[in-house]
Amino acid sequence: MASDLPMSPHLEQIHGEIRDHFRALANGFQRLDKIKDSNRQSKQLEELAEKMRDCKRLVKEFDRELKDGEARNSPEVNKQLNDEKQSMIKELNSYVALRKTYLNTLGNKKVELFDTGAGVSGEPTAEENVQMASSMSNQELVDAGMKRMDETDQAIERSKQVVHQTIEVGTQTASNLKGQTDQMGRVVNDLDTIQFSIKKASQLVKEIGRQVATDKCIMAFLFLIVCGVIAIIIVKIVNPNNKDIRDIPGLAPPAQSRKLLYFRE
């Protein structure tokens, strides 16, 4: 069915690589039944796990390529290609389940879907687990399993505490940030008020300066007038016969003039 589906060259290449991996997995599990040594079986299972990881990566790549070309295909073709993808996923999961069965038979109790590889983070490999399990009694295996479960529970509890502390710190930080934001808003408002007051004060100072300058001019002008009047009075008193200086209205003539007028009469 899959060979009759219309595929792009890249999609067809990925599909062919996945099928090659499936054939290699089938042959590998067939050879595994003929291996009697547990160490060789563990090594063979690791090689098969590596094949499964590659196959999973190819299936994801097949799915991405299928989504990219979905607009170019008809709905019927897209349905057939999706069915083929689901079929490959089921076949891959069957090999994963088969590998778990073999690992359980060998006594490896620590099994994960698609192991991250041997020797990562200092953890024992599958081969080392088999050797350890084969040298332990049933009670020791049970005790080891219970100990591992207790360690897992403790790790989960520590993770919960870390999450709770992180949430509290985040809440406190958010509250502090909100308070600081409100304070900054008030400071900005106060600065705006101060700036407005400074502008008003500058305008008031300019206005007062203009008024003071006007008043000074007026006072200076009045002072000059007063000085001129005083000067005329002094000159008139000193030289009363000076005809070039008029009598100031309201100012009586000098006393000597009145005496001269009296004698003439």
Mean pLDDT, residues 146-170: 82
- Select the highest-mean-pLDDT range: 27-36, 103-112, 136-145, 252-261: 27-36
Instruction: Flag whether pLDDT at 182 surpasses 50.
Output: yes
pTM reported for the whole predicted model: 0.40
State the pLDDT confidence band at 110, using cuts at 50, 70 and 90.
very low
Query: Among residues of the chain, what percentage have pLDDT more than 70?
Result: 73
**pLDDT, tens digit, 9 for 90 and up, residues 228-244:** 888 877 876 777 666 55
Segment 113-141 shows an average pLDDT of 49
Per-residue pLDDT for 203 more than 60? yes
- The DSSP string of the chain is -GGGS---HHHHHHHHHHHHHHHHHHHHHHHHHH---HHHHHHHHHHHHHHHHHHHHHHHHHHHHHHHTGGGS-HHHHHHHHHHHHHHHHHHHHHHHHHHHHHHHHT-----SS---TTGGGPPPHHHHHHHHHTS-HHHHHHHHHHHHHHHHHHHHHHHHHHHHHHHHHHHHHHHHHHHHHHHHHHHHHHHHHHHHHHHHHHHHHHHHHHHHHHHHHHHHHHHHHHHHHHHHHHHHH-TT-TTSPPPTTPPPPHHHHHHHHHH-
pLDDT category of residue 6 using cuts at 50, 70 and 90 = confident
Q: How confident is the model at residue 207 (pLDDT cuts 50, 70, 90)?
A: confident
